[in-house]
Amino acid sequence: MADTDLIINGTRIPARRGDTILAAGEAAGLRMPKDGSAPCAHDALCESCRIRLESGEVDDNGSRIGASVLACRTKVTGEAAFSFQPFPREMKTSAEVIELRSLAPEIVELVVRIDKPIPYLPGQHVLVSVGKWPARRLTPTLSLDGLRELDTLHFHIRRRADGVVGGNPERLFMPGARLKISGPYGQSFLRHGDGRIVLVSSGTGFAAIWSMAVAARLGQPHRPLHIVASAHDPRQLYMRPAVEWLARQGVSEITLTASGAHPLPPARGGRAVQHLPGLAPSDTVYAAGHPDMVRAVMDVAARAKAITYGIPHVPAAQETGMVEKIARFFGREPKQAQTVVATPVDALASNIRRIGPG
């Protein structure tokens, strides 16, 4: 039985102490932000339900960053008010694999043609499933030359020897294969506003950062952009065409960094968080990639009182146990990652020297 009230985006609803904000909002019939795979029963938090606490007290369960909390983790303790941005309605469509192309030794680009457009905002993710296999959480982006056909989606996928199909996504995403896609999900999408936009990625988190960078450049050209793209291994810094596109658009603040033992020029050494510019409350900071990197960047941004959003790469709930299921299906142990020809990292050098910090 309800024993207090919440105000969510201006609507007063009854709530029970001890319930999550997400459950209270949904019980009252509100469309709340969350991931479509109900993933966050385990510890991998997807950030899809992050909302702003406007007033009141809550048990944030360790999820508070600045003035925001995760609605699926935060419990009602009394009257409180929250807000979040309106977001596109979830929809479902089917799609066909057009191409899987190599971007770096461990990274491929999946290109699919969709039957119906999915109206995602830059930074939002979708759930992609093939046949009876569990859905994967992927972030739609543009091709690295800044183009996108309206009926196609591009995704960046990392090969992992210990991951899905033993580092051979070709076995799952064969040209002509039919996929199911639902979404979009997530509150960490590009907003309109003023002030500098700081975009930070690790690994294939660059997919989200790239779609936001293009949208920001074309839709909000008055806002300065600062980009930090990182990888553990410099050979995985696959974004040369994107860097060239940004340079042509006048973006000069781009840092590539490799956190492993042997960074190769033009990549600097160190983790992404070590290369953040000095932050101010007028900045908006987006971080996408490894959950540890995302949390570290969001913490730094929150301490500087900047607005911050995270897009951590965590498996969808349905993906739990996926590796074993697929390995069983193919009747063997996951294979070692396949070695393919990569974009030579030194090809980036002249361009990075030309456009900014090296």
Task: Check residue 47 for interaction with ligand FES (CB under 6 A).
Answer: yes
What is the rounded CA–CA span in Å between residue 345 and residue 349? 7
Question: Least separation, in Å, of the C-beta of 157 and ligand FES?
Answer: 21
265-302: string of b/e by CB count within 10 Å (b at 16+)?
ebbbeebbbebbeebeeebbbbbbbbbebbbbbbebbb
What is the rounded CA–CA span in Å between residue 138 and residue 209? 13
Question: Least separation, in Å, of the C-beta of 243 and ligand FES?
Answer: 31
10-43: string of b/e by CB count within 10 Å (b at 16+)?
eeeeebeeebbbbbbbeebeeebbbbbbebbeee
> Which strand (E) or helix (H) includes residue 216?
helix 206-219
C-beta pairs of 56-62 under 8 Å, 24+ apart in sequence = 56/80, 56/81, 58/21
Asked if residues 113 and 88 have their Cβ atoms less than 8 Å apart, the reply is no
Question: Least separation, in Å, of the C-beta of 12 and ligand FES?
Answer: 23
* List 49, 103, 276, 316, residue binding ligand FES (CB under 6 A): 49
Task: Check residue 19 for interaction with ligand FES (CB under 6 A).
Answer: no
* List 36, 39, 146, 289, residue binding ligand FES (CB under 6 A): 39
Residue 117 half-sphere exposure toward CB, CA atoms < 13 A: 8
Q: Phi first, then psi: what are they for 199, rounded to 5°?
A: -115, 125
Task: Check residue 70 for interaction with ligand FES (CB under 6 A).
Answer: yes
Stretch that binds ligand FES, among 32-40, 133-141, 169-177, 321-329 (CB under 6 A): 32-40
Question: Least separation, in Å, of the C-beta of 131 and ligand FES?
Answer: 25
Pick 40 or 256: Cβ nearer ligand FES: 40
Task: Check residue 72 for interaction with ligand FES (CB under 6 A).
Answer: yes
Question: Least separation, in Å, of the C-beta of 73 and ligand FES?
Answer: 6
Asked if residues 228 and 272 have their Cβ atoms less than 8 Å apart, the reply is yes
Question: Least separation, in Å, of the C-beta of 38 and ligand FES?
Answer: 7
Question: Least separation, in Å, of the C-beta of 318 and ligand FES?
Answer: 13
Task: Check residue 35 for interaction with ligand FES (CB under 6 A).
Answer: yes
Task: Check residue 40 for interaction with ligand FES (CB under 6 A).
Answer: yes
Q: Longest C-alpha distance within the chain, in Å?
A: 66
> Which strand (E) or helix (H) includes residue 211?
helix 206-219
Task: Check residue 127 for interaction with ligand FES (CB under 6 A).
Answer: no
Task: Check residue 345 for interaction with ligand FES (CB under 6 A).
Answer: no
Pick 39 or 334: Cβ nearer ligand FES: 39
Q: Pick the closest to residue 104 from 275, 287, 264 (CA basis).
A: 264
Question: Least separation, in Å, of the C-beta of 63 and ligand FES?
Answer: 8
* List 48, 201, 204, 230, residue binding ligand FES (CB under 6 A): 48
Stretch that binds ligand FES, among 35-43, 224-232, 293-301, 344-352 (CB under 6 A): 35-43
Stretch that binds ligand FES, among 47-55, 88-96, 174-182, 214-222 (CB under 6 A): 47-55
Pick 38 or 218: Cβ nearer ligand FES: 38
224-244: string of b/e by CB count within 10 Å (b at 16+)?
bbbbbbbbbbbbbbbbbbbbb
Count, residues near ligand FES per rule CB under 6 A: 11
Asked if residues 357 and 253 have their Cβ atoms less than 8 Å apart, the reply is yes
Query: Which residue number places its CB atom closest to ligand FES?
Result: 72
Asked if residues 78 and 325 have their Cβ atoms less than 8 Å apart, the reply is no
What is the rounded CA–CA span in Å between residue 257 and residue 266? 8
Site map for ligand FES, 288-317, x if CB under 6 A? Answer: ------------------------------
Residue type, 323: V
Chain contacts with ligand FES (rule: CB under 6 A): 34-35, 39-40, 45-49, 70, 72
